[in-house]
C-alpha cells in the first residue's frame, strides 16, 4: 500500500507510529507522527479517543453473536429449513468464506472512505443481516442474509488492529486486550443467552436469532460520531507538511507473514468448528440443549479475562512461541477429553477448549507486533486474516461430512486434534521477534 493510501487510516489524517513491537503503557491519546496533524484542541480532542474506545468495545461485542447464536440453535435451524448435515456444515463454513472474500477488500475501502466509515457500515450490515436472515425463507435467503452480516464482520475484523495501531500506538497490547475481551464477552453472551431468550420470546428460533440485531444497531452510533468528527479534523490535516515516504512492503515475500496467516487460519478453523459444532457434540452425548449452550458460553467466556491478559503478556515477550505451545496443549487435552468422556467431563473440556481458543487474541497481537508502521499493519492484517480465513473454510464442512457419514464424533474429533499440531508449529514461527519490513 502506498504511503498516501493511509491518509484515512488514523485519527484526522491517520497518525502513524514507528514504535517497537513492545509498547509501553504510555498516554492514551494518539501521538501524531511526522507530517501529521495533532487531534484538535478543545473538547473534541479530549473525548474523541474515548469515543473510539467505546466504538471498539461495541464493535467487538458484535463480531461473533451472528455465529455463536446460530451454533446454539443449529439443530432447530436445520429442522426448520430442511438442511442436511453437509449443508449445515457448509453453513458453519460460511463465516470463514465471507471473512476471506470480504476482508481482503477492507484496506481499499478504508483508503476510499476511512476506517471509521467502513466499521460503521459494517455494524449496519450486521444489523440488517442478523434481523433479516431468519425471515427470508429457505436456505438460500438465510445464507444470503448471513453473508451480508458476515461481510460487515469481515471488514471490521481487518480494520480493528489498524484502528488500534493508529489511535493508540503506545498501548497496542492493552487496547488489543480490551478489544479481544469485549469480543469474547459478546461471543459467550450469545452462546449462553440465545436458547433462554428464544424460550422467553415464544420458542421460535427465528426470533432467537433476530434479536441480536438490536445490539449491532447500538454499535452504529459511536462510529457515526467518530466519522463526523474525523471529517472535521481531516481538513486541518491537509495543510500539514508532506509525509516522508515509507519503503514498500511486499507482504507475500515475508515468511513471517505466511506463518502468521497459516497460524491464523488454523486457530480460526478450531474456533469455528467449536462454535458451530460443540453444542451438538454435547447434545449427542446426552447433554440438554440449554446446558450445551451454557457449555459453549463457558468456552467463550474463558476468553474474557484471558483475552485481556494474553496480549499484555505477549507484548512483553520477545518470542510468543511459549504462549502458542501452551494454548495448543490445552486444545489437545480438551479434544482428548471430548473423545473419551464428552458428557462426564463436559465442564473441564469446555474450559480447556476455551483456553485454547485464546489463540485468536494472541494472533491479533502478533499482527500489531510484526510491523513497525500502520502501513505494514494494514497489509499484514488484511493478508493474515484473508488467507487465514480461506484456509479455515474446509474445516467445519469436513467435520459435518465426517459426522454424517461416520455416524459419530470419533473421526471429527480426531481431525480437530490433529490440526492442533501444525497450529503449534507455525505459531512458534510466527512468534519469532521479526518484522515484515525486514523480510519483504
Q: What percent of the chain has pLDDT over 70?
A: 84
Contact 47, 149 (CB under 8 A): no
Residue 406 has pLDDT above 60, yes or no: yes
Neighbours of 234 (CB within 10 A): 17
Which residue has 490535516 as its cell numbers? 237
Query: In 3D, which of 123, 112, 190 has the Cα closest to residue 160?
Result: 123
CA distance 30 to 201: 44
Are 227 and 394 spatial neighbours (Cβ–Cβ below 8 Å)? no
- Of 347, 301, 307, the residue nearest 327 (C-alpha): 307
Instruction: Please determine, for residue 1, whether its predicted confidence score (pLDDT) is greater than 80.
Output: no
In this structure, is the dihedral angle defined by the CA atoms of residues 246, 115, 146 and 211, taken in order, positive or negative? Answer: positive
Residue 377 CB burial class (10 angstroms; 0-12, 13-18, ≥19): buried
Q: What pLDDT sits at residue 252?
A: 87
According to the model, what pLDDT value does residue 17 have? Answer: 39
What is the value of pTM for the model shown?
Answer: 0.75
Q: Can you give the length of the chain in residues?
A: 440
pLDDT at 251: 86
Q: What pLDDT, on the 0 to 100 scale, is given for residue 390? A: 87
The per-residue pLDDT for 27 is 37
pLDDT, average across residues 338-351: 93
Other CB atoms within 10 Å distance of the CB of residue 215: 19
User: Is residue 332 within a helix (H) or strand (E), and if so which, with residue range?
Assistant: helix 321-340
Q: Are 256 and 372 in contact (CB under 8 A)?
A: no
Per-residue pLDDT at 393 = 82
Q: What is the pLDDT of residue 227?
A: 85
pLDDT higher than threshold 50 for residue 37: no
Q: Is the pLDDT of residue 302 over 80?
A: yes
Closest CA to 267 of 358, 141, 330, 402: 358
Q: Which three cell numbers stand for residue 140?
A: 438460500
Q: What's the confidence (pLDDT) of residue 233?
A: 54
Higher per-residue confidence, 8 vs 161: 161
CATH of region 44-234+250-439, choose from 3.30.300.30, 1.10.3720.10, 1.20.1250.20, 3.40.50.720: 1.20.1250.20
Averaged pLDDT score across all residues of the chain? 82
Instruction: Give the pLDDT of residue 174.
Output: 84
Dig out the grid coordinates for 317 from the structure. 515477550
The confidence score (pLDDT) of residue 25 equals: 38
Which of 255, 169, 258 has the alpha carbon at shortest distance from 438? 255
- Range 405-409 average pLDDT: 88
Q: How confident is the model at residue 79 (pLDDT cuts 50, 70, 90)?
A: confident
Per-residue pLDDT at 123: 96
From 66, 62, 6, select the one nearest 36 (Cα to Cα).
6
- Running DSSP on this structure, what letter comes out for residue 20? -
Interacting residues of 152 by C-beta distance below 8 A, sequence separation 6+: 121, 122, 123, 124, 125, 126, 129
pLDDT of residue 14: 40
Give per-residue pLDDT as tens, 237-259.
Answer: 444 444 445 556 678 889 999 99
Q: Which of 218, 189, 73, 193 is nearest to 133 (CA)?
A: 73
Determine the pLDDT at residue 371: 83
Give me the half-sphere count of Cα atoms (radius 13 Å) on the Cβ side of residue 206. 10
Give the separation between CA 9 and CA 112, rounded to whole angstroms: 10
Q: Quick one: which of 158, 148, 61 has its CA closest to 109?
A: 158
Mean pLDDT of 109-118: 86
Supply 396's cell numbers.
467445519
Average pLDDT over residues 35-50: 57
pLDDT for position 28: 41
Amino acid at each position: 500500500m502506498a504511503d498516501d493510501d493511509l491518509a484515512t487510516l488514523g485519527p484526522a489524517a491517520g497518525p502513524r507510529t514507528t514504535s517497537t513491537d513492545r509498547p509501553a503503557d504510555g498516554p492514551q491519546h494518539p501521538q501524531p507522527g511526522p507530517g501529521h496533524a495533532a487531534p484538535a484542541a478543545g473538547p473534541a480532542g479530549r473525548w474523541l479517543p474515548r469515543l473510539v474506545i467505546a466504538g471498539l468495545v461495541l464493535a467487538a461485542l458484535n463480531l461473533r453473536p451472528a455465529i455463536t447464536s446460530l451454533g446454539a440453535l443449529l439443530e432447530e435451524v436445520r429442522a426448520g429449513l430442511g438442511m442436511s448435515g453437509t449443508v449445515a456444515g457448509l453453513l458453519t463454513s460460511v463465516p470463514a468464506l465471507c471473512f476471506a472474500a470480504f476482508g481482503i477488500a477492507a484496506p481499499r475501502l478504508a483508503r476510499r472512505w476511512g476506517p471509521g466509515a467502513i466499521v460503521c457500515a459494517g455494524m449496519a450490515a450486521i444489523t440488517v443481516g442478523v434481523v433479516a436472515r431468519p425471515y427470508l425463507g429457505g436456505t438460500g435467503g438465510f445464507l444470503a442474509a448471513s453473508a451480508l452480516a458476515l461481510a460487515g464482520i469481515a471488514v471490521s475484523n481487518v480494520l480493528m488492529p489498524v484502528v488500534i495501531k493508529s489511535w493508540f500506538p503506545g498501548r497496542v497490547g492493552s487496547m488489543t486486550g480490551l478489544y479481544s475481551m469485549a469480543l469474547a464477552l459478546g461471543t459467550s453472551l450469545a452462546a449462553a443467552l440465545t436458547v433462554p431468550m428464544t424460550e422467553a420470546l415464544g420458542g421460535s428460533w427465528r426470533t432467537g436469532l433476530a434479536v441480536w440485531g438490536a445490539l449491532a444497531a447500538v454499535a452504529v452510533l459511536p462510529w457515526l460520531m467518530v466519522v463526523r468528527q474525523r471529517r472535521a479534523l481531516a481538513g486541518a490535516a491537509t495543510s500539514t507538511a508532506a509525509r516522508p515516504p515509507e519503503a514498500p512492503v511486499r507482504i507475500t515475500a515475508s515468511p513471517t507473514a505466511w506463518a502468521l496467516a497459516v497460524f491464523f487460519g488454523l486457530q480460526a478453523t478450531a474456533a469455528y468448528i467449536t462454535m458451530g459444532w460443540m453444542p451438538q457434540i454435547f447434545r449427542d452425548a446426552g447433554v440438554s440443549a440449554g446446558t450445551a449452550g451454557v457449555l459453549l458460553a463457558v468456552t467463550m467466556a474463558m476468553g474474557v479475562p484471558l483475552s485481556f491478559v494474553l496480549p499484555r503478556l505477549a507484548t512483553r515477550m520477545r518470542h510468543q512461541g511459549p504462549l502458542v505451545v501452551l494454548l495448543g496443549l490445552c486444545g489437545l487435552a480438551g479434544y482428548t477429553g471430548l473423545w473419551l468422556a464428552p458428557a462426564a467431563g463436559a465442564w473441564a473440556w469446555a474450559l480447556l477448549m476455551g483456553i485454547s481458543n485464546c489463540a485468536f487474541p494472541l494472533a491479533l497481537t502478533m499482527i500489531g507486533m510484526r510491523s513497525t508502521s500502520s502501513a505494514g499493519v494494514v497489509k499484514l492484517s488484511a493478508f493474515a486474516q484473508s488467507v487465514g480465513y480461506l484456509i479455515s473454510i474446509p474445516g467445519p464442512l469436513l467435520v459435518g461430512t465426517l459426522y454424517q457419514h461416520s455416524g459419530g464424533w470419533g473421526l471429527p474429533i480426531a481431525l480437530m486434534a490433529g490440526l492442533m499440531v501444525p497450529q503449534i508449529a507455525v505459531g512458534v514461527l510466527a512468534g519469532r521477534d521479526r518484522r515484515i519490513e525486514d523480510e519483504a
